[in-house]
Amino acid sequence: MPGNKLRTAALAAGALALFLTAAPVQAPAQDATELLRQAVDAYAKYSYVGQVQNVDFGSTRAIAVLFRIEHRAPELTRRWYLAPESLYGESIISKGDTSYDIDPHQDRIVVVRDDAIEDQVAEDDNFGLLLHNYRAIMGPPENIAGRRAYAVLLVNRYDGQTVMRISVDADTKLVLEKERYAPSGSVSHQMHFENIRYTAGLPTDLFSVPTSGYTRVNGPSHGSPSADLRAVVKTAGFHALGPTYLPEGFVPLAGDVSEIKGIRTLHLIYSDGLRTVSIFENARGAAVDLTKYTIHSAKVHAHDAQYVLDGPTTLLAWAQGDLHLTLVGELSQTDLVRIASSVAP
Amino acid sequence: MMQHIDNETLIDYMHGALPPQADAAVYAHMETCAQCREQFEAEAALTEMLHSYAAATERDFPSTLKAEIWSRVRSAQPSFWSRVRDNLRPAVFVPVAAALALAAYFGSTLLSPHAPPSIEAAYYLQDHAALNTTVPFSDRNSSTPVDLQNGAMIAPSEETAVNVQPASYTADAGQ
CB contact under 8 A, B54 and A246: yes
CB contact under 8 A, B131 and A225: yes
Q: Which residue has the higher pLDDT, A228 or A324?
A: A324
Question: Residue A337 forms beta bridges with which residues?
Answer: none
Which residues from B are below 8 Å from A285, CB to CB?
116
Q: Using an 8 Å Cβ cutoff, are B10 and B39 in contact?
A: yes
Amino acid at B26: V
pLDDT tens digit sequence for B39-84 = 888 878 777 766 666 555 544 444 444 455 445 544 544 455 555 5
Distance of alpha carbon A249 from alpha carbon A272, whole angstroms: 5
Map chain B to HEC letters: CCCCCCHHHHHHHHCCCCCHHHHHHHHHHHHHCHHHHHHHHHHHHHHHHHHHHHHHHCCCCCHHHHHHHHHHHHHCCCCHHHHHHHHHHHHHHHHHHHHHHHHHHHHHHHHHHHCCCCEEHHHHHHHHHHHHHHCCCCCCCCCCHHHHHHHCCCCHHHEEEECCCCHHHCCCCCC
CB contact under 8 A, B159 and A260: yes
Percentage of chain A beyond pLDDT 90 is: 57
pTM of the model: 0.70
* pLDDT-based confidence at residue A1 (cuts at 50, 70, 90): very low
Q: Which residue has the higher pLDDT, A162 or A223?
A: A162
Among A43-47, A303-307, B1-5, where is mean pLDDT lowest? B1-5
| pLDDT averaged per 10 residues, chain B (length 175) | 78 82 88 88 76 54 46 50 53 58 51 67 84 75 64 52 49 32
Q: Mean pLDDT: which of A43-47, A318-322, B42-46 is highest?
A: A43-47
Q: Which residue has the higher pLDDT, A49 or A28?
A: A49
Distance of alpha carbon A203 from alpha carbon A276, whole angstroms: 36
Map A174-240 to HEC letters: CEEEEEEECCCCCEEEEEEEEEEEECCCCCHHHHCCCCCCCEEEEEEEECCCECCHHHHHHHCCCCC
Ramachandran class of A82: left when φ > 0, alpha when ψ lies in -120 to 50, beta otherwise: alpha
CB contact under 8 A, A328 and B25: no
pLDDT, average across residues A29-35 = 77
Mutation pick from B11, B52, B138, B162 vs chain A, by most beta carbons of A within 10 Å, is: B162
A:62-91 residues touching chain B, CB 8 A cutoff: 65, 69, 77, 79, 81, 87, 90
Asked if pLDDT for residue A7 goes beyond 90, the answer is no
pLDDT, average across residues A3-18 = 48
CA angle B151, A221, A213 (to 5 degrees): 70
What pLDDT is recorded for position B167? Answer: 46
pLDDT, average across residues A32-49 = 93
To the nearest whole number, what is the mean pLDDT of chain A?
A: 86
Mutation pick from B3, B59, B137 vs chain A, by most beta carbons of A within 10 Å, is: B137
